Amino acid sequence: MNAETPKAAELSLPQAFLLLATNDKNGKPEVPLFALRTTVAGAILAELDLLGALGLQGKYVRATGAAPQTDFQHELELIRGKSRPRTPKWWVSVLDSRAEVQSVYEGMASLGIVEHVGEKHLGRFRPVRYPHKDHAPGAALLEKIEAALSGAPADLEAPDSEATDAEAPDSTKPGAGAPDAKPDAKPVSKGPDVRTTVLIALLQAAGLLGKLFPAADLTRASELARDYWPTRAAEDELRLTRLAEEEAATL
């Protein structure tokens, strides 16, 4: 890995998820495309939440006054500019798109992490794939996740980012980059540790964690996917899509 390539801890959650959800050799997604799109949408919300750019107040997602540096500024402004607040599931459905997935892939391609392969050539369309070009970031992510899954269940704890209007009027989370964070606050500010935990929840929501770590106990990971609001929203949307597909198959 050269000096220009981000380490695993520096990847955004959508990048980290897509990297692990993509076959490193042939560049094909390891999950159905609908699961890929929906989970990336949840990962975008989680990324903005951990950056302190938005949060959950009651049932609705609200942008905060924070203006962190992010690759998802367009998505943040979309949420900030909405005339009335919407639920996490509503935003997952809005951000669920092929364009969002491709944008994240192309961002990693520009960093040299994956390679853009396939395009229209001599009148024939070849599907675009993104095989890994630099295998170090993916290997580092797998190592971090394996270490987390092999630890005590208490080591895996979803970020406590859900706040009520009375507790957090601006949806700001304790320890989310604030220098005067309380010592007993949950570890939202610990960057890589919390991100690894959220990444585990995203992989579980997409049905990919068991494929990557077949020997792991997935009970706690399932709880994480339900407990953290962005992954819970993605999981709920995926459940509805799967039910719809099952019903369509019986007609």
Residue 193 has pLDDT above 90, yes or no: no
Token digits for 10? 């520096």
Residue 165 has pLDDT above 90, yes or no: no
**Structural domain count, the chain:** 1
In this prediction the pTM is 0.82
Q: What is the pLDDT of residue 67?
A: 86
Residue at 242 is within a domain: yes
Q: Residue 221 — very low, low, confident or very high, per pLDDT cuts 50/70/90?
A: confident
- Contact 241/212 with Cβ under 8 angstroms? no
Residue at 100 is within a domain: yes
Residue at 67 is within a domain: yes
Q: At what angle do helices 13-20 and 136-149 cross, to 10 degrees?
A: 90
Residue 79 has pLDDT above 90, yes or no: yes
Residue at 6 is within a domain: no
Domain extent at residue 121: 11-176+184-250
Give CA angle at 244 (240, 247), nearest 5°.
140
Higher pLDDT, 194 or 177: 194
* Region 113-138 average pLDDT: 84
**CATH code: domain of residue 76:** 1.10.3630.10
Residue at 201 is within a domain: yes
Q: Residue 200 — very low, low, confident or very high, per pLDDT cuts 50/70/90?
A: very high
Q: Which of 171, 178, 202 is nearest to 54 (CA)?
A: 171
Mean pLDDT of all residues in the chain?
83
Residue 6 has pLDDT above 80, yes or no: no
pLDDT in tens, 100-112: 999 999 999 999 9
pLDDT exceeding 70 applies to what percent of the chain? Answer: 76
pLDDT exceeding 90 applies to what percent of the chain? Answer: 60
Beta bridge partners of 29: 22
Residue at 54 is within a domain: yes
Q: What is the pLDDT of residue 92?
A: 97
Q: What is the pLDDT of residue 182?
A: 41
Q: What is the pLDDT of residue 153?
A: 62
Residue 71 has pLDDT above 80, yes or no: yes
Residue at 213 is within a domain: yes
- Contact 47/72 with Cβ under 8 angstroms? yes
Measured CA to CA, the distance from residue 42 to residue 78 in angstroms comes to: 15
Question: Hey, how many other C-beta atoms are within 10 angstroms of the C-beta on 180?
Answer: 6
Residue 250 has pLDDT above 80, yes or no: no
* Region 10-14 average pLDDT: 94
Token digits for 38? 């929906």
Measured CA to CA, the distance from residue 22 to residue 134 in angstroms comes to: 13
Q: Residue 34 — very low, low, confident or very high, per pLDDT cuts 50/70/90?
A: very high
Give the distance, in angstroms, between the CA of residue 44 and the centroid of all CA atoms in the same chain: 6
Residue at 226 is within a domain: yes
Q: What are phi and psi of 29, to 5 degrees?
A: -65, 145
Q: What is the pLDDT of residue 170?
A: 43
Residue 136 has pLDDT above 50, yes or no: yes
Q: How far apart are the first and last CA of the chain?
A: 51
Residue 20 has pLDDT above 90, yes or no: yes
Q: Which residues contact 86 (CB under 8 A, 6 or more apart)?
A: 60, 61, 94
User: What residue spans of the chain are helical by DSSP H?
Assistant: 13-20, 33-50, 73-80, 88-95, 98-110, 136-149, 192-205, 209-212, 219-227, 229-250
Q: Which of 153, 143, 160 is nearest to 196 (CA)?
A: 143
Beta bridge partners of 114: 132
Question: Hey, how many other C-beta atoms are within 10 angstroms of the C-beta on 182?
Answer: 9
Ramachandran sector of residue 171 (left: φ over 0; alpha: ψ -120 to 50; beta: rest)? left
DSSP string, 131-193: -BS--HHHHHHHHHHHHHHTS-GGG------EE-TTT-TT-PPTTSS-TT--TTS-STT-THH
